[in-house]
A and B are shown apart, each in its own frame.
Chain A
Amino acid sequence: MEPITEGSAARTTERISVQTNVLNANQQTAAENRQMFEDRNLLVINLMSAPGAGKTTLLEATIRSLEGRCRLAVIEGDLQTDLDAQRIQALGVRSHQITTGTVCHLDARMVARALAVFPVDELDLLVIENVGNLICPASFDLGESLRVVVCSVAEGAEKPRKYPVMFHKANVVLINKIDLAMASDVDLEELEANIRSINPNATVFKLSSRTGVGLSDWTDWLQHAVATRRANVMVGA
Chain B
Amino acid sequence: MHEISIAESILEIADEQARAQHARSIQLIKLRLGEFTTIVREALEFAFEIARQGTLAEHAVLEIERVPILVRCAVCDKATQPVAGICLICTVCGFPMEILSGEELQIEYIEVETEEEWSQWNRSQKEVPREQQSESLSRPTS
Contacts and interface: CB of A to CB of B under 8 A. Distances in A.
Interface of A: 1, 3-4, 7, 9-26, 102-105, 107, 135-136, 138-140, 161, 164-166, 168, 196-201
B13 A20 contact: yes
A105 B1 CA distance: 9
Given A16-B109, A197-B89, A139 B36 contact: no
Contact of B37 (A20, A26, A165, A196): A165
B113 A19 contact: no
B114 A19 contact: no
A23 B9 contact: yes
A168 B88 contact: yes
6 contacts: A10-B117, A14-B114, A16-B17, A23-B6, A24-B13, A139-B38
Interface string B88-114: 110000001000000001111111111
A219 B85 CA distance: 32
B47 interface: no
A22 B116 contact: no
Interface of A is mostly: mixed
Contacts of A198: 86-88
B119 interface: yes
Given A200-B89, A200-B96, A12 B107 contact: no
A11 B114 contact: yes
A140 B113 CA distance: 33
Q: Which of B5, B106, B117, B122 has most A Cβ within 10 Å?
A: B5
A162 to B, nearest CB: 10
